[in-house]
Every structure is written in C-alpha cells, then in structure tokens.
Structure 1
Amino acid sequence: MNTRQIAPFIGMGVLMVAVQLISLSLTPLMLGAGYEAFEDPGSATNPLYFIVILLIFTGVLLWLIKRGKDFAIKAIIGFSILFIFGYIYSALFLFLLENTLAAWSLTIIATVISGALLYAYPEWYVIDILGVLISGGAAAIFGISLTIMPVLILLVLLAVYDAISVYRTKHMVDLAESVIEMKTPILVVVPKSRSYSYIKEGIGIKDKKEERGAYIMGMGDLIMPNILVVSSFAFLAGAPAIFGITLPTIGAMAGTIIGLAALLWFVSGGKPQAGLPLLNGGAIAGFILLCALTGSWGWIPGM
C-alpha cells in the first residue's frame, strides 16, 4: 500500500486516540459534576439495562425508517446529540466558572452552536471534529457510570449483538445505510482524497460499481471500547501509572488501537464489518494483559 492508501487508516487511528484522550480528560469533570448515568455503578444489572435501551432505540429507528419518517429520525438523533453536548459543555463550564449564570449560559450557547453546525454544514471535517467530542463525552458518561466488571460484561454482550446484527440479521447495515443517506451526523468520515466532499458525494455501502470516496465508522465503535478505558481510569486504584494513567488503562487503549487496525484491514476488502468484536475484544485483551503483568486485580470481587 502506498502513502495515499495508508493515510485514511492513519486518520481513523488518530480519531480513535483523540476520543480516548478527550474521554480521559472529561472523566474527572464528569465525576465532579455527578453525571453518572446509573445510581449504582457496580450493579451487574446495569449492562442489561444498557442493552435493553439500545434495542429499544434501534427498534424505534428501524420502525421509523420503514415508514419513511426521516424527520422523526433526525429529530431523535438530533435531540440525543444535543443532550450529550449539554453534558460535555456543562461539565467544562461548571468546572471553570462554578455553578453560575455565565456557566449555564455558555453551556446553552455552545450546545446550540455545535448542534446547528452539525446539521447546517455536515462536511466530513465538521462531523469528525464534533463527532470525536460527542464520542469522548459519551464514553466518559458511561465509563463513570459502570465499574470495571459491569463494563466487561457490557462489552462482551455488545460485541455479540454487533456480530449478529451485521452478519446474520443485517439490520445494523440497513440502519447504517439509512443514516448515511440522510447524512445524519452519528459517524465519522475519513476521505480517501483531498477533493472528497461528504455533503456532495455521500457514501454508499452496497454500491460495488464505484469505489467509495471515504471510510466511515459509527460513533458507537468509537464510544463502546473506550467505556472500559474510562472505567478503568476512574475505578482502578493502586495500579502502576504513567503520567497519571494506570497501565491497565493504557493496555485497554492500546488494545483498542490494535483491534481497530485489524478491523480496518478487513474493511479494506470493501464489505461492511462488525466493529465491536475486534474493538471491544482488543480493549478487553489489552486491559487483562496489563492487569496480569502489574498484578492489578482489585476490580475483581474478593481479590
């Protein structure tokens, strides 16, 4: 492969690392603001609630797609995006300005501007910049809401679900195609050439007659493995650390990148691939390996 062919793969790696760094940076702010999504982060039932919510959300979107309710789909996704932006900006401004009118005013302004920009000008670089911020914020929210053991359970369940939904039922492929056709900004885009425009060209998954102009990755693939990165950073105390980040957390980060490299190798074949089996698997493997090397088993009950 030449430099032009390799560049998009490097770009995907850069986006993944950016999500990891943003999520880690937001973690103490989210914790300080009390933004945990679950009341008991250690409950083993939390992953089940997460999966049920995901299934309901996916089912509603597919139902709306079959009935051509594009506006409703955009409204649901848009509200979800604004909700996450609100969490991110409020955590940041409350940290900088405390619980003041200025903090909440800036939160509202930044949230509205970010959401409007995504929908008014969904070019690939706008989607990528704000998509990385959304993904980092979502990973931070869920990472502080689940301790390590529930996260591991969740990532395994999500990997199985992703594989089934892509390779067996294929409903996730249908959902992705519809989202792309509507240019809904819940993915990241890495172009293969400088002249590529997501607004003008879009991208098709099933079109085999013409080479795709860009690689895409759903935000879920950026968010899910990094939930473990955040959870291990937030809840694994006493493990050896480098620059304040524990080695098992670094292992989860590195494992995710290795899983991403494997995923991109398969994606280069031109067919849609389930990302979470490789991404979640890599994160879990890297985390467990560094736990073994450092003897950091405090997250296991009774150890």
Structure 2
Amino acid sequence: MFPREYRGVAVAVVLFLLVQLGALALVQTFFDQGYQAVEDPSDPTNSIVYIGAVLLATVFFLAAFKYDLDWVVRVVIVATSGMLSWYVFSAIVPSTAAAVLGAGVAVGLWVYPEWYVVDTAGVLMGAGAAGLFGITFGLLPAIVLLSVLAVYDAISVYKTEHMLDLADGVMDLRIPVILVIPLSWSYSLLEDVGDDENDSDTDDATDEIVDNDGDDPADANKDPSDDIAPGDDEREAFFIGLGDAVIPGVMVASAAFFSSAPQYAVPIIELNTPALFSLVGTLGGLLVLMSMVMKGKPHAGLPLLNGGAIGGYLLGALWVGIPLAEALGITGFL
C-alpha cells in the first residue's frame, strides 16, 4: 500500500466516524421530535419492510438507467439529500434556518457536485438516515436488518453482480450515494470523466484501486504512489457506497438508544459500551475491507462492516453483563 493510499484509508475512517458520531448525536433529538416511524420498534417485521423498500429502490434505479432516465435518479437523490439535511439541521438550528440550509445542500449538489460537496452531503444524509433508523429499529430488528443486507450485498456483488451495474449508472451522476475518497487533494470529481472499467458497489460495496507494479526500469525514480493506476487511466480517488457507512451505523445508533447498558457521561452524543464496541467493530471491518480493496478487486462491504458492527455490539453487551437473550432482543419471544 502506497503513502497516498494510507491517506485515503484515513479519509475513509474519518468519513465513517462522522456518520456514526453524527447519528449518535441525533438519536435523542430525533426521538424527542417524534421522528420514530413505527409504534413498536422491537417488532422484527419492521426490518422486512425496509428490506423490501431496498429491493424496490434497486429495481427502480436499474430500470431508470436502462431506459436513459438518469436525470430522474439524480433528482430523487438530490431531493432526498436536501430533506435529510433539513432533518439534521433542524436538530441544531430553528426550522426556518434548517430548511434554508437543507435547500442549500440540494442546490450545491445540483450546480457544483465537487467531491467535497458530495462528501458533505453524504455525511449529512448518512448521519440523518442512521439516526432515524437507529430509533426505528430496536435491537433485534437492527440485527435482522444488518444480517439480511450483508447476505444480499454479497449475492448482488459476487453472484448476480447487479450492484456493480447499478454502480456504473450512478458514478457519472455525482450524487451522494457514494463517498468520494480522494488520493490526491488536487483530484476533481467534476473533471473525472469516469471509466467503465472502474467497478464499484455504490450501495453496499467498495470500489477498487488498480495497483500497477511498475516493472519498467524507467519508473525506478518515480514516486510509487503515482502507480496506483497506469497511464491515462491513473486513479486519483476511490469510492465507498454510502450504505456501507449508514447500515452498520444503524446498529451503533440502535445500541446507544435501546440497550440497557449505562450511558457514558459524554457531551452531545448518546454512547454506551455496546454502542462503542459496535462502532469499533465497524471500523475494524472497514480496515479489513480496505486492505482487500487495495489488492485490486471490488468487494461487498456489508459482510465485513455489518459483521463487525453486530459482533462488536454483542461483545460490548456481554462485557457489561447483559444476558445474551436480552442483547439479541429476543427475551419477549421466550
């Protein structure tokens, strides 16, 4: 792994942390504002409804790309970004100011979708979505949701490969269903014309970096980090699906909100041991995923990320003495 790839991994970790910590800062406010979308957050069928919505959205996007309706996808995502940003801003500023700021995010995405604009919108969307779902899905529904989506992600990337087809459709739209990880601060998403050979999973998998060994002796004096991709196809960034940050964040937020573990006395965010361990597990999964991606092939992100989030949560719950049945959220069914 070359130096600028390490910097890229560091940027990815920071973006994930911003999404996760943002969700932890929002859960209590979202609950107080009445944003919990279900009457019984402990009902595992809530997860099935959401999974069905994910499948329908995937079909919609694939159909839109097939029939050259890319602009419809862009309108939907930009509008959704503005709405979720409004939710986030409404937690910290008056509603009118929040609406103006949310609209500003949407306008910025529409007129100047540079990588830092896309990432800013993605972090706001991710924190808002993870916070909303965190108070909507109790512990068992969250575990079910993450488990099923991890399996679905693996199938859609490695077997059917339709998630890679979806990625091909959204890359040129420059919308915050991806987080852009620049490997050079001079990188411009606006100038990146895209490459059909750059496979990425924008919902639940991570894009690849092509590694060129640089066997030409003339390359001996070059910075090895310049050889991440060869020739005119040199890669200056890689991409992570926003869902890779949001979905494990649901487990983190749910653990912070629903677990009976004592809360830490920390400002701004809700945090307890199960949530902290879940967050650490997610980041551990991210680092393993990045080490695999750097070898040159796209990978499904959620099996590692969700596995780390669930495993970390359960370990944290057991660490503070919560019985396994309670940690799994199944005591009401026994």
Query: So what's the TM-score if we normalise by structure 1?
Result: 0.92
The whole-number CA distance in structure 2 between the counterparts of 1:84 and 1:44 is 25
The whole-number CA distance in structure 2 between the counterparts of 1:57 and 1:123 is 25
Q: Which piece of structure 1 moves more, 1-10 or 253-262? A: 1-10
What is the deviation of 1:130? 2.2
- Paired residue type of 1:227: V
- 2:319 alignment counterpart: 293
- Paired residue type of 1:14: V
Please, which of 123, 138, 142 is the counterpart of residue 133 of structure 2? 142
Contact 1:259 1:279 in 2 (8 A): yes
What is the deviation of 1:189? 0.7
Cα deviation per residue 1:54-103 (whole Å; 9 max; x = unaligned)?
1011101101110011121112222222221232223333xxxxxxxxx3
Contact 1:187 1:218 in 2 (8 A): yes
The whole-number CA distance in structure 2 between the counterparts of 1:111 and 1:183 is 18
What is the deviation of 1:203? 4.2
Q: Which piece of structure 1 moves more, 201-210 or 245-254? A: 201-210
- 2:148 alignment counterpart: 157
What is the deviation of 1:222? 0.8
- Paired residue type of 1:197: S
The whole-number CA distance in structure 2 between the counterparts of 1:206 and 1:77 is 24
* Structure 1 residue matching 2:39: 3-state secondary structure: coil
Please report the RMSD computed on the Cα atoms of aligned residues, expressed in angstroms.
Answer: 1.8
* Structure 1 residue matching 2:74: 3-state secondary structure: helix
- Paired residue type of 1:296: I
- 2:274 alignment counterpart: 248
- Paired residue type of 1:283: A
What is the deviation of 1:37? 2.3
Please, which of 227, 230, 235 is the counterpart of residue 212 of structure 1? 235
The whole-number CA distance in structure 1 between the counterparts of 2:193 and 2:245 is 21
Please, which of 230, 244, 247 is the counterpart of residue 221 of structure 1? 244
- 1:100 alignment counterpart: none
- 2:59 alignment counterpart: 59
The whole-number CA distance in structure 1 between the counterparts of 2:196 and 2:287 is 20
What is the deviation of 1:215? 1.3
Number of residues paired by the alignment? 294
Please give the residue correspondences for 1:54-203 in structure 2 after superposition, counting only pairs within 5 Å: 54-93=54-93, 103-203=94-194
Cα deviation per residue 1:229-270 (whole Å; 9 max; x = unaligned)?
000101112346463621111000000000000111111122
Q: Which piece of structure 1 moves more, 276-285 or 240-249? A: 240-249
What is the deviation of 1:217? 0.7
Larger Cα Rg: Structure 1 or Structure 2?
Answer: 2
Contact 1:205 1:271 in 2 (8 A): no
- Paired residue type of 2:46: N
Contact 1:4 1:192 in 2 (8 A): yes
Relative to structure 1, the CA distance from residue 240 to residue 84 in structure 2 (aligned partners, 3 Å threshold; closer, same or farther) is: closer
Contact 1:29 1:92 in 2 (8 A): no
The whole-number CA distance in structure 2 between the counterparts of 1:87 and 1:287 is 27
Please, which of 309, 321, 326 is the counterpart of residue 283 of structure 1? 309
Contact 1:203 1:212 in 2 (8 A): no
The whole-number CA distance in structure 2 between the counterparts of 1:230 and 1:32 is 15
What is the deviation of 1:276? 0.5
Relative to structure 1, the CA distance from residue 65 to residue 82 in structure 2 (aligned partners, 3 Å threshold; closer, same or farther) is: same
The whole-number CA distance in structure 2 between the counterparts of 1:205 and 1:234 is 42
> Percent identity over the alignment?
36
What is the deviation of 1:205? 6.0
Gaps of 5+ in 1: 94-102
Is 1:34 the counterpart of 2:63 in the alignment?
A: no
Relative to structure 1, the CA distance from residue 50 to residue 204 in structure 2 (aligned partners, 3 Å threshold; closer, same or farther) is: same
- 1:7 alignment counterpart: 7
Q: Which piece of structure 1 moves more, 72-81 or 189-198? A: 72-81
The whole-number CA distance in structure 2 between the counterparts of 1:172 and 1:47 is 21
Query: So what's the TM-score if we normalise by structure 2?
Result: 0.83
Q: Which is richer in helix?
A: 1
Is 1:235 the counterpart of 2:226 in the alignment?
A: no
* Structure 2 residue matching 1:185: 3-state secondary structure: coil
Contact 1:205 1:272 in 2 (8 A): no
Gaps of 5+ in 2: 199-209, 211-229
- 1:99 alignment counterpart: none
